[in-house]
Amino acid sequence: MKALITASFAPSELERLRRWMAVEYEDWRRRRELYFDGQQFADRIRRAGADVLIVEADLVHDDVLDQTDLKLIGCCRGDPINIGIAKATSLGIPVLYTPARNAQAVAELTVAYMLALARNVFPINEGLKNGTLRFEGAHDYLEAYERYGGFELGSSTVGIVGLGAIGQRVAHLVRAFGARVLAFDPHVPDAVFEQLSAKRCSALEELLPEVTFLTLHCPLNSSTFGLIGKRELALLPRGAFLLNLARAQIVDDDALYEALVSGHLAGAALDVFTQEPVQPDNRFVRLPQVLASPHLGGATRDVVRHQSTMIVDDIERLLGGKRPRFLANPEVWESPRRKRLC
């Protein structure tokens, strides 16, 4: 057996995998290039003589699968959208993936943004550095105190839309600060809300008028596309904050911009944008009350360790004859066509 790994992978997990098979490691971050060309990637896999392929963002579509003899694919993503799942299933190739690999990272950045917005961290820092915030007398200090004093998370209400892996972690973290938590997610059982001490809202209209922070952690699909529009933003209290570290298309861009410019919203934190990678001239980036990052919510070194461990754990389970925990195409497990590692 031999594995070709183009995903970022933890050294300790590379060594663990090498106990089972030969490994050729080619981190896409060091190469600074992804395989988007199917023919090129198929040629690379064949040159490596790999029957196990572990990727992060490379495209493994039908053209790659038709030209190689892969027996197992590992995808270091929460949603293996870059893999031709239907084709892999028809060929009997199990596809492993890594749900919630970056959930803690995104949740922590979400709370970091809440704290920064609540305490005006960035305006204060910028003012001191560029010289616009000066102290020449007591009145200057009093003015800064009144303008930038902010508030504690414990006095706020956090509204979470989407109580999956990330949303649950956000709820847990903000509860530690003493915040009140409301959440909307029709797909999560009552027991989860109770465990998190979060009030269940049966509709957005129930949640929105009560929140200090509205934070979005739902997937993008037909029911969440444009979920937060002009009407929903108007239901938020004046001076509320919106955080979107999920997908840009969940929010109506024009409505959000209007709510920010008009002052109805006090600010926002955005890690996702309609046009990515986001550029400095983006209209949201240029607003002083908006904190922006270029889709880096899950970009921590710990995420690499999480995804590596999850993939190797499941490979070991598979080699031991056990069903992997995180199998993107579970129907392949009982299929007589399933390819087996040996």
Catalytic residues: 247, 276, 295
> Could you tell me if 173 and 107 are in contact, meaning their C-beta atoms sit under 8 angstroms apart?
yes
Token pair of 10, please? 């933890």
CA-to-CA distance for 213 and 232, rounded, in angstroms?
Answer: 14
Token pair of 165, please? 């892996």
75: Cβ contacts below 8 Å, ≥ 6 apart = 54, 55, 56, 60, 82, 83, 95, 96, 97, 98, 328
CA-to-CA distance for 301 and 238, rounded, in angstroms?
Answer: 38
Outline where 159-218 has alpha helix (H).
165-176, 190-195, 204-207
**274-297 burial, b for 16+ CB within 10 Å, e for fewer?**
eeeebeeebebbebebbbbbbbeb
| β-sheet bridge partners, residue 157 | 180
| Identity at 159, one-letter amino acid code | G
| β-sheet bridge partners, residue 79 | none
CA-to-CA distance for 27 and 139, rounded, in angstroms?
Answer: 56
The CB-side HSE value for 74 (13 A sphere, CA atoms) comes to 28
Quick one: DSSP state of residue 247?
A: -
> Could you tell me if 127 and 179 are in contact, meaning their C-beta atoms sit under 8 angstroms apart?
no
